[in-house]
Structure 1
Amino acid sequence: MKYKIKGLLLMSIASILFNIFYFSNYTILLLVLVLFGWYEFFQKKKVFENLEIEYDLEYEKCFIEEEIEYRIYLKNNSNEDIYITISPSNLLSRLKPPFQRIKLLSNEKKKITFITSFGTRGIKEIGYISINYKTPLGFEFWKIKKVNKTIEVLPEFIYSEFNKESLKKLLPGQKSNIRVLEDVTYVENIDEYNNEPMNRINWKVSAKYDKLMVKKYAHTSTGKVYMFVDLNLPDGIPKNNIFWKSERKIYEEYALKAAASIIRNQKLKHEDVNLVVIGKEIKRISSNDWINYYDILSISTGTEEPEYKIEEIIEHDLPYFTYEDTVIIISIHLTDKIIPDLIKLRAKTSKVIVLIMPYGFRIEHEGKLNIKEHDMFRIEAIDLEKKTILLEENHIIVRLVSPNNSLTEIFETI
């Protein structure tokens, strides 16, 4: 706890001097007022010292722009009421309201609720809680408590349907849109009997509808989706180019949005997804829960001077791919150096999809820009577009995404 008594000290000195040199009833009154100020100071100091402060967050994780409650619990352990001002944190710029002034009754415990949200992903520090008491008697107190909690802001995902997996080796255990082999662990529907085997008849449902009804099963496949998200500037782009430096940061957020959207879509369909994020560090994850992937995406960052290169990562992982796998690569740019590795990768897998998005993509509800798409791209991207012809000839699907393309529109062209 800290306090400031400069005003009270000045009043005390002034009242003593007035009583020495200008003694009167008024100077005595001033001295009494100062003495009352000191009495009030020690009383409120005792109240403030015994003030308990606790805190809580509605969630430990949230999405960008999602509003959450930030709760502060105060307890007055004294027999005296007090008016205080609560300022939760200077780090929470979106706090509503920014502060609250309340009356805390004697021995009262009160919950004060604030609403906050975040505009960017990552691990966010909450900062400090500040409690202030101020009086016209010339002194004030304040107490600061560090919040030993952080909140993880997950990347935004854009709704899109990604159904571009190739035909895979078929085994029970996983859903697929390709109706080739049935998975008897998933009953998809009940339908009227039409020359199906007798063991498929659902006798309870048949008795209810007074006609033969059979089980319709879902169908399965077991290939994996491998996703490589490169957040770094690749070789071939000038490292000190101001345009690419600023554009890489914008690209990073869009790349993670695209990855989050595809991963969520795949996991809801029970697909195996192996994610590799290439940034300042290499992060790998394979999980049954899509939210675990978001934990990785929320803290991943790239750099203009990378230690790790995507072509080296792909070359390292090449022996582990099988022909049933689908590979998705998201990058800001591709250079000639990676083309041989992509061709080798295609020879080992069923499908390779490369999404190049130097300027991000269009969100579904946003309008299109009034500009020709070809005019949007810099010369490096235009040169890359010419090289994609060679890749397409080798059955490597490359899409150069413009700010006028939505994810759904891009997926529909694959």
Structure 2
Amino acid sequence: MIPPVIIKKEPVFITLQPDKREVVTFTTAFGTRGIKKLGAYSVRIKSFTELFSIYITEEINSDVRVLPNLEEADASVERILEMLPVLKSKYKLAEDISYIKNIREYQNEPMNRIHWKQSARMDKLMVKEYEYSGTAKNYIVLDLNLPGGIYSKEAWRYIHKKYQEESIKAVAGLVKHFSERHEKTNLFISHSKGIYDITDSDYVFFFDYLSEVEGAIDNNNSTTELLEHIIEGVQPTDTVLVISMFLTKEEVEKLIRLRSRCGRVLVLLMPYGYREATTKKFKSYFDVPVEIRELYKFARTLEEENIIIQIWHENTSLVEGLLKISGSEM
């Protein structure tokens, strides 16, 4: 039996006995996400004398959906969201402080979380864990398109592809993180065919979309249009995370307007993607693009509005960038 070419396995020889079934299993792995067509497999039947053979080829009509890998950043995300204010909240995202669901040992949390009676009883510091209220929502805004203001688009083709795959892995990790904590999450994806607006309690549902979505390099839209898509729907308790390659001065007004309507705004800029956590640091020859440099002069204004912007260099891992946010003064 000859497996499909995409399986990349050697043919298997089977001796069939009368009235007996044989099951042949091939296993494989795919290096990239997306919808994979398996193609056809062939069965070669030899005559007893081996003077001739008969080939039977059968097309496999069903496809395989390969879900994206994810970048784990649970501890970093939780730490950041504790620090981002609505305004200067002492509690974690979407917690209901009227209901304590658990008591556990102290791990450098704010002093107001310490349960003093239990600490005295157990002779060590214990902290309160609250139930989630379920009223707040997380908005993740992922822009996969190359910004319309970039003119030498072909020069950015490879870098854009790198950003696309790595930002998708980052978002996959975020939606898994929020889903496992039963936090309401709304994912907006700007891609080559338009905008996806996805809401679900199961992160695997988000993965279905992330598995096949593609950005465009000949995009004429800006991140402003994507922000406008959600700006009317956010609530004062909501958190918005924006992930993009670039932001320019045109987006500043929209970000400030967005911040006036919701609790937290966090912007993650990844012009070159990021370094995978399993890869060692390397010597980098890339510089921050002019478009990003121009954004620095707006940083103070944005920080006054409690909007935090973090720019990833190609030699910065996802977690390192997140920790820079949580380590900065808010």
Instruction: State the TM-score, normalized to the length of structure 2.
Output: 0.80
Equivalent in 175, 180, 183 of residue 99 of structure 2 = 183
**What is the CA–CA distance in structure 1 between the aligned matches of 2:142 and 2:36, rounded to whole Å?**
23
User: What displacement does 1:148 show?
Assistant: 2.4
Percent identity for Structure 1 against Structure 2 = 29
Q: 1:229–1:278: 8 Å Cα contact kept in structure 2? A: yes
Give the residue type in structure 2 aligned to 1:287: D
When Rg is computed on C-alpha atoms for both structures, the one with the higher figure is: 1
Whether the 8 Å contact between 2:36 and 2:65 is mirrored in structure 1 is yes
Unmatched segments (≥5 aa) in structure 1: 1-85, 170-174, 197-215
Q: Which amino acid aligns with 2:254?
A: D
Mapped partners of 1:391, 1:177: distance in 2: 21
Aligned CA distance change for structure 1 residues 348 and 370 (closer, same or farther; 3 Å): same
1:349 to 243, 259, 262: 262
Shift of 1:354: 0.9
Residue of structure 2 in register with 1:104 after alignment: 16
Contact in 2 for aligned 1:167/1:178 (Cα 8 Å)? no
Asked if 2 retains the 8 angstrom alpha-carbon contact of 1:279 and 1:308, the reply is no
Residue 152 (structure 1) aligns with: 65
8 Å CA contact retained: 1:157, 1:260: yes
Q: 1:179-213 CA distances to partner (integer Å, 9 max, x unpaired)?
A: 771336x44569xx9769xxxxxxxxxxxxxxxxx
Q: Which whole-Å deviations, capped at 9, do the CAs of 1:303-353 have from their partners, x for residues lacking one?
A: 122365431232232121111111111111112222211111111112211
Tell whether the 8 Å contact from 2:94 to 2:136 is kept in structure 1 after alignment.
no
Q: 1:313 to 1:241 in 2, by over 3 A?
A: closer
Q: Which is richer in strand? A: 1
Change (3 A) 1:388 1:287: same
Trace 1:272-287 onto structure 2 (pairs within 5 A).
272-280=184-192, 281-287=194-200
> Aligned residue pairs: how many?
300
Which residue of the partner structure matches residue 165 of structure 2? 253
Unaligned runs of 5+ in 2: 106-114, 119-127, 326-330
CA contact (8 A) 1:176 1:269 kept: no
Residues of 2 paired with 1:179 and 1:321: CA distance? 18
Q: Could you tell me which residue of structure 1 aligns to residue 291 of structure 2? A: 380
- Bigger relative CO (Cα 8 Å, ≥ 6 apart): 2
Q: For residues 156 and 2 of structure 2, what CA distance do their matches in structure 1 show?
A: 40
Q: Does 1:117 align with 2:35?
A: no
Contact 2:148–2:221, Cα closer than 8 Å, also in 1: no
Q: 3-state DSSP class of the match of 1:354? A: strand
Match of 1:241 among 131, 148, 153: 153
The 1:144/1:311 distance shift into structure 2, 3 A limit, reads same
Q: Distance in 1 between matches of 2:231 and 2:288?
A: 31
Q: Which residue of 2 aligns with 1:363?
A: 276
Superposed CA offset, 1:349-382 (max 9, x none): 122111111211122221111247xx43333333
Q: RMSD of the TM alignment (CA)?
A: 3.1
CA deviation vs aligned residue, 1:84-111 (integer Å, no higher than 9, x gap) = xx1121233xx3x332122222232101
Aligned match of 1:412? 323
Q: 1:129 aligns with which of 29, 41, 44?
A: 41
Q: Determine the structure 2 residue equivalent to 1:340.
A: 253
Pair 1:267-2:179 in alignment: yes
The TM-score, its normalising length taken from structure 1, stands at 0.65
Residue number in structure 2 paired with 1:299: 212
SS of structure 2 residue aligned to 1:283: strand
Structure 2 counterpart of 1:313: 226
Tell me what 1:7 maps to. none
